[in-house]
Amino acid sequence: MNSPDHLDIDHFTAAPQRRIGSQALIRDETRGRILLFESRRRVERGDVLTWNLPGGCAQGNEDPQAACQRRIQEKSGLLIDPGRLLVMHWQPATGDTVEGHNYVWDGGTISQHAEVQLSAEITQYRFVARKHLTDYVPESLVARINAAFQALGHTHTGYLAGRAG
């Protein structure tokens, strides 16, 4: 009896390609607004929504929490010690991206006057109220941020699957 092709693949030595995004939910200490960075790459390619949570992609064999800290420091000069995992969001592949997992860590609070030194990857930053998120980020990120806020008030980690919006 012939077995289906997918059963002949060794997923431990020939694992499928995936990307790992690692971000932090950082709020300003007085009003609870969310820190967002505007991506130069998204601006230059003409995206409508060009903002994202601080963080970035992990390198091969890099711990996602360490990647979050590294990418925030590289992009902004901020030294954030990511706290507990708030959300894990699995997203399927699209025409231009491989499937991936996006982790959101508790980045705590910082002063709205914190010294931020933007790298060339970031055009600007700002603190945004939750009610205005849809003006800056795609629906899938709004869902991720809302799940992160929900997890902040509980002891569980949120999980999202698929693309919202």
Q: Which residues are paired to 24 by β-bridges?
A: 105
Q: Which residues are paired to 57 by β-bridges?
A: 21
pLDDT digits (tens, 9 = 90+) for 54-92: 999 999 999 999 999 999 999 999 999 999 999 999 999
Q: Note the helical H segments in the chain.
A: 40-44, 64-76, 139-152
pLDDT digits (tens, 9 = 90+) for 138-150: 999 999 999 999 9
- What is the pLDDT, as a whole number, of residue 165? 42
pLDDT grade, residue 1 (50/70/90)? very low
- What is the pLDDT, as a whole number, of residue 13? 67
Percentage helix, strand, coil for the chain under 3-state DSSP, each rounded to 5: 25, 30, 45
- What is the pLDDT, as a whole number, of residue 164? 52
Average pLDDT over residues 22-41: 96
Going by their DSSP bridges, the two strands 100-110 and 19-28 should be labelled as: parallel
Which candidate, 34, 35, 31, places its Cα nearest to that of 72? 35
pTM beyond 0.85, yes or no: yes
Decide if 38 contacts 119 (C-beta within 8 A): no
d(CA 80, CA 89): 21
